Amino acid sequence: MHRREFLQRVGGLAACCVVGLPRHGKSASAVAPLLASIEKVVLRRGRDGSGPTWFHPRTCMLPGANGPTAFMTLQTIAGSDYFGPVHWMTSPDRGATWTEPQPVPPLGRVPQPDGAEEGVCDTVPEWHPPTRSVLALGHNVFYRGSKFSRDQPSRWPVYAVWRDGQWGPRRKLVWDDPRGAYIYTNNCGQRVVLPDGDILLAFTFGNTKSQPRAVAGVRCSFDGETLAVKRVGEPVTHSAGRGLLEPSLTAFGGRFFLTLRAEDQRGYVCDSADGLAWSPKRAWAWDDGEPLAMSTTQQHWLTHSDALFLVYTRKDPTNLNVMRWRAPLWVAQVDPQRLCLLRATERSVLPLIGDGVKDPDKVAIMGNFHPVNVTPDEAWVTVGEWQPKNGIHGDLLLARIRWSRPNRLVSAAPDLKAGAVKQP
């Protein structure tokens, strides 16, 4: 389908969140060399106990006259699903140096009448070009004492907007639909900024704790202050466990792609022309048809103009006894027509450190990670390690992926309208 015809059919929906639309990739043999190198960088040390263990590190890039500034949100972890307040820090030099993490005031803890505290987690920041702002979108979570409260009240997306060095108020993304009475969220999810400034994301939702969650595409308006639901698409359902969780979206080749965490040792993928009506889900599998074994862990997209990639965890002979096989992190090219992974292109993004068979408790797991395009020549995957059975300690890591051909989704031109980002 011609690009102009496609844009007319879907009302201008299809676009990647940086620059233009990528085309479908070439053959595996032609595209595999795109991954020229992958370098592991330790941003902050926590394995040795010298500092806190940082978690949920997610980055977006802010354009500027002197080059892009990396803008990261992150928070500490002190136990299973027990996170400190959301912080933020920036880097003006492509990750070489960073400011000290500072709290995001509107995304801190809020005391509740019953003695619990309402926090925010799973936050993803994204630059919104039309309003020149960062939308930091997470969801609420409740703590009691020093632990995650097992009796969670209703939960929903929570966000705050950063512009010109200032944070706006804490806000709720409202969805008055009984299907999300117990929970609706885009937790940890990648989203797409559309050509008209609308934002396409996905909700995982359910109306009771015991009901398996479904996922639906959601189109939202955003004016730089308020995020509002405009339209919710057809649900994708799954009956195993808690259903479908942590949905991530991307755009590639004139279509949208959705990857889904599940609890039946699989992950799932769908595609769509408009991000609202999805193809039947398929379990992630290799190009020879063998399914990947994935244990209730998220997957995320790494999108180059010449090819689409998935970053993920899976079962492997080296990690048989690691919790949910959450190390190492892998990347492989996606076949966008067959919705499968090309086995020959798989590479390790961040390796497993230690013995995942005989001494798994000392292996730092890496299940909550985030890819981002940085420059035409570089992309990152950021992750916070932690060792749940070995004192929590873990490092804050960045995998620096260098491309052999420029990523045309990322503009190399400076933003002459932008001044320096005000540092925390």
The residues with which 203 forms a beta bridge, in sequence order, are 216
Model confidence pLDDT, tens digit, residues 45-69 = 999 988 899 999 999 999 998 899 9
Model confidence pLDDT, tens digit, residues 208-243 = 999 999 999 999 999 999 999 999 999 999 999 999
Give the model's pLDDT for residue 226.
98
| CA pair distance 183, 143, nearest whole angstrom | 16
Give the model's pLDDT for residue 413.
82
For residue 412, what pLDDT band results from cuts at 50, 70 and 90? confident
For residue 407, what pLDDT band results from cuts at 50, 70 and 90? very high
134-140 average pLDDT score: 98
Are the CB atoms for 319 and 363 separated by under 8 Å?
yes
Ordered structural domains, the chain, with CATH: 3-403 (2.120.10.10)
Name the 3-class secondary structure at 256.
strand
| CA pair distance 278, 298, nearest whole angstrom | 19
Give the model's pLDDT for residue 49.
87
For residue 27, what pLDDT band results from cuts at 50, 70 and 90? very low
Phi (first) and psi of residue 229, to 5 degrees: -70, 130
Closest by CA position to 290, among listed 326, 314, 270 = 314
Are the CB atoms for 191 and 126 separated by under 8 Å?
yes
Q: What does pLDDT average to over the chain?
A: 92
343-361 average pLDDT score: 97
Burial class (CB in 10 A: 0-12, 13-18, 19+), 291: middle
The set of residues, in sequence order, having a beta carbon less than 8 Å from that of 209 and lying 6+ positions away, is: 182
Model confidence pLDDT, tens digit, residues 7-24 = 333 333 333 333 333 444
The CB density around residue 19, as the number of other CB atoms within 10 Å, is 18
pTM of the model: 0.92
Q: What is the DSSP secondary structure assignment for residue 157, as one 8-state letter?
A: E
Give the model's pLDDT for residue 141.
97
Phi (first) and psi of residue 360, to 5 degrees: -70, -25
The region, left, alpha or beta by phi > 0 then psi within -120 to 50, assigned to residue 354 is left
Q: Can you tell me which residue has the tokens 């959705």?
A: 258
Percent share of the chain, pLDDT over 90: 86
